[in-house]
Amino acid sequence: MSLAIRGGVLVDPANRVNAKRDLYIDTEGFVVAVGRAPRGFKARRTIDATNKIVCPGLIDLRARLREPGLEHKATLESELRAAVAGGITTLCCPPDTMPVIDTPAMAQMIQSRAWHFGYAFIHPFGALTRDLKGQQLADMEALDDAGCVAFTNAMAPVTNTLVMRRAMEYAASFDLSVFLHSEDPWLKADGCCHEGEISARLGLPGIPEAAETVAVARDLALIDQTRVRAHFCGLSSARAVQMVAEAQRRGLPVSADVTAHHLHLTEHDIGYFDTQCHVQPPLRSRRDRDALRRAVKQGVITAICSDHQPHEPDAKLAPFSDAEPGISGLETLLPLTLKLVNEKLIPLPQAIALLTQSPADILGLESGRIGVGATADICIFDPKALWTLTAASMTS
C-alpha cells in the first residue's frame, strides 16, 4: 500500500535533516521521495504528522526477549508488540536464551520466529563461548553466516583471560564485533547494589566500582593487543567512562552504551528496598550518574539502550537481594531519552542519533536513517505528549 506521511518534522541525523518534510512510500515499502511527491504518485493512505516528529525506527542494542526458555516471563510476540509501542523497530537479542545462541540453528530459529510475527526486526548476538561457560570458543564464523551481528558472553563472565584473548583474536580475524559486559565476578560476589552509603544503611551486600573498572582495564589491554572492534555495554561508573574515553583518544576501536535508567536513577532511588531498582549493573552514585550524562553529551557514549529484562510479578516480590535483577524498558527508552532533551542536556537530533544512527553504525547496519531508496523503517511520535507510566499501561 502506497503511503504519504505529511506535515511532520523529519529528524534524520544520518542525513543531517531536521526540518519539516513529507515522506512518500511505495507499495513495496521503500521511500521514493522526501519533500515533494514524485510525479504521478498516488497515496492509498495518508498519515497526518502535524506537530509530530518523524524519525528512523529506533534500534535497541540490548533486549532480553525471554524466548526460548523463559516464556513464563515474556514471549517474542509480547515483547515485539512492546517494542513497536515504544517506537523500536529493531531489537538486538543477547545469546543468554535457553538454549544459548551458540549454534546457527538457534540464531536462525529466533530470526524466523520474529519474521513470523512481523512487528519488528530481531538481530541475534552470537555467544563468544559455548554455552556461555567461558571455556571453549563458539563457532563465530558460522554464527556470523547465520545472521548474528555481534558476539558476546552476555552477563556470564569469561574469567579465563587467555580464552578472552583467543575470542578477541578470532573475532578480529573475521572483522566481527565483540560486545563486553565488563564486571569482575570475584569483586561482584553476591552484591546486589552499589557499594556505598545506601548499601551500608540498608545492610545490603554491595558491588564496588572496582568490579567494573578492573574488568574494563583487562578488556582494554586485550583490545589494544588484538585490535578487535569492541563495544562496552551498560557502563555504570565515572571511572569506567574515563577509561573508555582515554582509550578512544588513543585510537582504540571501542564504543560504549548506557542504559536509559542509569542516566536518571541512582542508588538513592532504592529507597527502602524497592526491588524495581534492583538492576545489573547496579544504580550507582549521583557522581557516577552525572558522569554518564556528561559522557553522552560529549560523545564518549554513543548509544542509549533499554537493557529490557521483563519479569513475572513474583520475581520482584522477594527480598531485595533475592529479587531477580532487571527492568522492563522497551516502552520507556524513547521517553527517558527525550527527558534529556527537556532537561537541556542534549539537542533533539543528538537524542535521536543515540537511538538510531549510532546503534546502526556500531552494528554495521544500513538502518537508522531515512533516504530515497531506503526501507520505510519509521517512528512517529508527539514530543509534547504526557502520560503516566503504570503497570496497566505497559504492553510488557
Long-range Cβ contacts of 318-325 (<8 Å, 24+ apart): 318/275, 319/273, 320/192, 320/193, 320/202, 320/204, 320/270, 320/273, 320/274, 320/275, 320/278, 321/190, 321/192, 321/204, 321/205, 323/275, 323/278, 324/278, 325/192, 325/278, 325/279, 325/280
**Sheet strand arrangement including 177-180:** 58-60, 88-93, 121-127, 150-152, 177-180, 229-232, 254-259, 303-305
Rounded Cα gap, residues 289 and 284, in angstroms: 7
Rounded Cα gap, residues 254 and 243, in angstroms: 11
List residues with catalytic annotation: 307
Question: 54 near 11, Cβ under 8 Å?
Answer: yes
DSSP E strands, the chain: 3-6, 9-12, 17-20, 23-25, 31-34, 45-48, 53-56, 58-60, 88-93, 121-127, 150-152, 177-180, 193-194, 206-207, 229-232, 254-259, 303-305, 378-381
